[in-house]
Chain A
C-alpha cells in the first residue's frame, strides 16, 4: 500500500514538474513573441547571462502587459487539466 502511494506520489511530482516546464516554455514563447526589434540586443545579453530570474525581470520591465497574456495562457492550461477525462 505504501509502495503504491509512493509510486503515486512520484508520478504526481513528475507531473507537477512537467506542468512547470510547460508553463515556463509558454512564458518564454510569449516573451519572444512580444520582442520588438530594438529589444533584441538587450534580450540576447540577458539570455547570454543564463539567469532565468533576470529574464523574467527583463520581460516585466519591457512588457508590462505580459502578466495578462500569461494569465490567459495559464487559464487555458488550467481548463485543459480540468477536462472530464481527468476528473
Chain B
C-alpha cells in the first residue's frame, strides 16, 4: 500500500521560528548600530555601558501603566471613528476594522498579514511614540519628583510628614539586626515603620522610610520629617556599649570603626522627651515609648533614681520592678529580653 505523499506546507510554528531567528539578527544589528552611535558622539565608556543596558523598568517589556492607558485610549478613539465612518455590515467586519486599525500603525494592513499578534507589539510601540509631548512633560515631572524622593530616601532626609499614615518609630543607633527584625514584624501587621539612624541605613532596601539623625536624636525637624504626627509609638534600641541588643554581634570597641551600635541611655531618654514635646506643640497627646534593652545591664542615668533616693547605679531589671510597683508611672514602658 503506497503512502499518500504529504503536502509540504509551511506550518505557522516554522514561520514563527524563522521570524524569531531573523529578529535575533535584527536585534544584533540594532545593538551594533547603537554602539556605533555612542562611539560617534564621544559618550564616555561608563555612560555608554549604562545606556546600552538601560531597559524599560518592568523588566518584562510591558509598557508602563500610563502609556498603556494612552495607547488603549488612542486606539479606541481612532477605531471608533473608523467604525462610525465605515459603518460595518456585521460584527466580523467590525472586528476586521479594529484589527486593521491596530496594525495600520505598523505600516501595513491586516489584509496582508497573518501574524497579527506580532505586529501588535510593534503597533503598541508606535502608539507610544505618538503620545503628545504634553503628556511626556507630565511624565517627566512625575519621574523627576520620584527620583528626587528616591534620592532623599537614600540620603535619609525625605519629608514623610503626613504621608505615611499610622506608623511606628524605631531609634536604631548605628546598626542593629534587631531593627530589621522589628521592622519586618511591624510590616507583617500592616504598620509603616520609620527608623532613625546615626548615619547610614544598612537596611534601606527593606525599609526606605528612615531619617538620618547625625547623632542628634532630639532634633524636632528630623522627628517631624519622620511623620511624628501620625506615630503611634516609638521603640528605642538601647545597649550602651555592652552589646548590640538581640544579636550575637559584639559592639565595636574601636571608636573609629563603630559600625554596629545601639543608642546610649542618655540618647534614649532624650528621644522620649523630644517626641512628646514635638507632638505637644502640634496639639497631640504623648505616645507610648518602648525602650528595648538588657535587664541585666547597669543603668547609671537619672531614670534609675527614684524620687528622693540617693544616686546609685541599678540594673534595668530593678528599674522595671520599681516602675511597675509605682502607680501613675509615666507612659514609658521597658520591654526587656535576654540577648
**B-binding residues in A (CB < 8 A):** 4, 7-8, 11-12, 14-29, 32-33, 35, 40, 43-44, 47-58, 60-61, 64, 66-67, 70-71, 74-82, 85-87
Residue of B nearest to A4 (CB): B13
| Number of CB contacts from chain A to chain B under 8 A | 181
B16, A67: Cβ atoms under 8 Å? no
Residue of A nearest to B20 (CB): A15
Give the residue of A19, A56, A64 whose beta carbon is less than 8 angstroms from that of B118: A19
- Is B64 engaged at the interface, CB distance under 8 Å to the other chain? yes
Contact of A48 with B118 at beta-carbon distance under 8 Å, contacts A4-B13, A8-B13, A82-B112 already known: no
**A-binding residues in B (CB < 8 A):** 12-13, 15-20, 23-24, 26-27, 30-31, 33-34, 37-38, 40-41, 43-44, 47, 50-51, 54-57, 61, 64, 103, 105-108, 112-115, 117-126, 129-130, 133, 136-137, 139-140, 143-144, 147
A47, B50: Cβ atoms under 8 Å? yes
A15, B19: Cβ atoms under 8 Å? yes
A18, B130: Cβ atoms under 8 Å? no
* Interface of chain B: mostly helix, strand, loop or mixed: helix
Contact of A11 with B13 at beta-carbon distance under 8 Å, contacts A54-B143, A60-B133, A61-B137 already known: yes
State A16–B27 Cα separation when bound (angstroms): 12
B136, A17: Cβ atoms under 8 Å? no
Residue of B nearest to A79 (CB): B107
Q: How far is the CB of A23 from chain B (nearest CB, A)?
A: 4
